[in-house]
Structure 1
Amino acid sequence: MLSTKFRAIATLSAVVLSATLLTSCGDSASADKTLLKSIESGNVTLGSKYDQPGLGLREGDGSMTGLDIDVATYVINHIAEKNGWSTPKIEWRESPSAQRETLIQNGEVDLIAATYSINPSRAESVNFGGPYLLTHQALLTQQSNTEIKGLADLDGKILCSVTGSTPAQKIKEALPTVQLQEYDTYSSCVEALSQGNVDALSTDATILNGYAAQTPGAFKVVKLEKEGKPFTNEYYGIGLKKNDEEGTKAINEALEEMLESGEFDKFVSANLGAGDEIDPGTPGDLSFLKS
């Protein structure tokens, strides 16, 4: 009886030890993972938005379209070609604003290009390649709305943005009387706006232009200014694992080539038309984080 009991305990201990070792190995593999290793292996997982027309959109057939998709794909292929590696297979992973740092830190994605504004807080958690573009915060309202023409007109109004994003909070700080309504995705905000449940949606002009273009005549983009200058400057970057300096350098080199060759202008034109409120960034220059 004792022998049977001891065997059972020994078996259980072995199972627990095996599971512990497997978990440890998995954690070690994640810790050793870098962007260049993933590209060289032939398989990469890239994060982006799935619901932002012109930037990151999952089409009905499962394909991905948008500026961020084109930029991320260019970067991966450029790095592979420069190192003499085969073009890797790309798997896309939806990356909502509130989950981006976590997805990178957990090793669930190799990089994220998802209207990812570089700011000091985020830069403490992940590395950033870029910026590859500069845009500014704006508002989206119904086309028929004649009341909201700027920041002051949001007094007492209901303003929508997404959880984990900073634009609406910046407006709240500047205009405490605004009422904030947060949703998980921008598409939910657009739906609420179309139904009249909120008065405006605030985020980057690039995102708002995409939604306005998707439903011509339904919405309009309203510029936000403070003392005659853009309300905010939003520098889009590519997020990757913290301290992956080799990967960051490779991304910046790819972005520089993309901007200098004119490919970026082609991507903007194809996805966002005239590309109002969009300027190219300077990859590797993060000096704005100190201002």
Structure 2
Amino acid sequence: MPWADTAARFLTAQEAMGGLWLFRTLFALSCLVKCGVETLRRYPAAYRPGTWLHYSVGLTWPGRRQPARSLVLAGHTLRWLAAAGLLCGTWPRLCAAVLALVFLAETRIYFRFHVNYFLLLAAILAIAPPLPTLADTVAHLPQGTDATWSYLQGFHGSRLCLVLIALTTSALYMGSAWRKLNRVFLDGTVVWSTLDYTLAQQHQRHYFDAWYPRALPRFLTAVPPGHALWRLTMGAVLIWEAVLPLLLLFPQTREAAVTGGVVMHLGFVFLSPLTLLPFAVVTTAAYLAFPAASPWG
């Protein structure tokens, strides 16, 4: 079939791997930050079957037992080691596969789409072509950033991984927009109730994860759901998430899409920096994959 041959040629075409190396590095750093945040907040140490993030949770898969505490602690240690190995470029495929398995085990405890996104990206990196190590790349830095980038771009491989990263990120955005397409999100009820709950439980929380003044949620909760402020803001977020992957595909709109996507994720980080920083870095780093994934370049 002609279309199948065309798709196969597109996916197996050789591509410069500088963008994939940079994505892998930022992904590994984000995994290390994620491990650090969870260690700082004592998530693994406080874990008991039936709990996560210091709260009681229901079974993700009813009828199946959650992992024992010893397995969770072992998985956390493995994630530290695998993320460090992936960052350094030491057995990167093995390290990425280990990360994918640990993230998969975490979904057995508590289902979060951020973790599933990391799981899929780690699985993609487990089949990535050979890339330079961190030490080799750093050794080229004295020659200047242009020479270092040229060194990285000198490595070539199939664009399959870049296409898969772009498709996974597109599915994340469009799936998120689809889930937001309901009245309780669009009129601001979801965000309003979350802020209201945070304020009500503030004295019981183990940490206050925000850079914004504590007066901000009080101001926002004073605006009732259904107000024009909520409708305009939530509607803009939904539309932007839905069209962002498409805008990233076209060279004419890519620069504006990257700027808008970075600003959106900076807003998320502003609201919850330690929790959302790894996710924001990885998601925006995935924009590097779209030029290779686009038929229009």
Q: Tell me the TM-score normalized by structure 1.
A: 0.22
Q: Tell me the TM-score normalized by structure 2.
A: 0.22
Q: Which has the higher helix share?
A: 2
